[in-house]
Amino acid sequence: MKMVFMRRFPRALAGLIAVLAVLATSACATGAAAAGAKPGQLLIVTAFYPFQFVAQRIAGPHAHVTSLTKPGAEPHDLELTPRQVASIYDADLVIYQRYFQAAVDDAVAENGNAHGKDNLLDTADFVPLEDHGPLGEENDDPDDRAGTTNLDPHVWLDPSHMITITQAVDRRLDQIDPAHRADYNRNAAGLITQLKSLDAEYRTGLATCKRTEFITTHAAFGYLAERYGLQQISVTGLSPDTEPSPARIAQVQQLAKTHGVTTIFYETLISPAIARSIAGDLGLRTDVLDPIEGITSQSRGDNYIAVMKSNLTALQRANECS
């Protein structure tokens, strides 16, 4: 408990200072401008990359869209700067998912938003988080709420859930900025068409495979697996920075043999060392399955749709789909 207090206190203090700073300057509306919005543009603050992608595609030039999680950073253990806490308060729209990033939940709970609660969009209201069962190691970090409750945050890896999120963001933007409603509706419809064809590619691409089991280091693919009839076996749990025990590694190696698995997947933001050692012992390949928690120069594609297609190709190769 002491650790939790020590870790939370500076965050709360930073939030208070940030909001006092915002209140001192709010009369001249410098907040949105300070965050990079041009005159006439909305400021949309998103918690991490897939929400940033959706917001940019729908809002186009009508908004400046930021992500609280920087490219290449781990979204699971996000800490916010005072400036970011202030941007959550200032933004015309905040898009986040509760129970995933405690720092964002705390900033929203403590300060709210200057424009009102309709300007805070919690995607978990539209796509409820699910518990995907035993996911490897127990997470004993008391500060990791998703780990404690075992709720899987990775809803964006299911294109159907991305469609629901797109519709929710579109409706909220219509309400906040009705002058540009026609543009938002058209852009959202275009994105939904792309997401539907991505879903169709996954359905046909994974329909006939030699096996349904796949092994990944971090358990990010529960929603994707459920949607397309796959079985995810994860080495660690929902948080990517958990160290697996030797017992868990032995268990996973046994499962790999049982199911004739060809590939141990790892992800772009995390060291491939665990995957390589498991694969090496069994003479298997390693490959990337990207949880799309950020786009970097290492990503196999420059946006959500492109990386989802790379993930499909990797799954088809690993599971020998025809």
The three-state secondary structure class of 94 is: strand
Which residue lies nearest Zn ion, judged by its C-beta?
A: 220
219 sits near Zn ion (criterion: CB under 5 A): no
Rounded to an integer, what distance in angstroms lies between the CA atom of residue 28 and that of residue 123?
A: 31
Nearer to Zn ion, 74 or 183 (CB): 74
Smallest distance, Å, CB 74 to Zn ion?
8
Q: Which stretch binds Zn ion (CB under 5 A): 105-113, 125-133, 213-221, 261-269?
A: 213-221
Rounded to an integer, what distance in angstroms lies between the CA atom of residue 191 and that of residue 103?
A: 30
Smallest distance, Å, CB 238 to Zn ion?
7
Q: What is the CA radius of gyration of the chain?
A: 20
The three-state secondary structure class of 209 is: strand
Name residue, tokens 């709010």: 26
Rounded to an integer, what distance in angstroms lies between the CA atom of residue 145 and that of residue 132?
A: 15
Q: Which stretch binds Zn ion (CB under 5 A): 11-19, 36-44, 58-66, 214-222?
A: 214-222
Structure tokens at 275: 């995957």
- 312 Cβ partners below 8 Å, 6+ apart? 201, 202, 205, 206
Which residues within the stretch 34-73 sit at the binding site for Zn ion (CB under 5 A)? none
Rounded to an integer, what distance in angstroms lies between the CA atom of residue 194 and that of residue 210?
A: 28
Strand order in the sheet with 120-122: 63-67, 42-46, 93-96, 120-122
The three-state secondary structure class of 120 is: strand
Which residue of 102, 220, 264, 315 would you call a contact of Zn ion, by CB under 5 A?
220
Smallest distance, Å, CB 75 to Zn ion?
7
Nearer to Zn ion, 49 or 228 (CB): 49
Smallest distance, Å, CB 293 to Zn ion?
5
Angle of CA points 194, 195, 198, to nearest 5°: 90
Nearer to Zn ion, 222 or 291 (CB): 291
Nearer to Zn ion, 67 or 113 (CB): 67
Kindly determine how many residues on this chain lie close enough to bind Zn ion according to the rule CB under 5 A: 2
Structure tokens at 300: 């196999």
Smallest distance, Å, CB 280 to Zn ion?
25
Nearer to Zn ion, 22 or 314 (CB): 314
Nearer to Zn ion, 89 or 100 (CB): 100
Which residues within the stretch 274-293 sit at the binding site for Zn ion (CB under 5 A)? 291
Q: Which stretch binds Zn ion (CB under 5 A): 6-14, 54-62, 161-169, 219-227?
A: 219-227
Q: Which residues here bind Zn ion, judged by CB under 5 A?
A: 220, 291
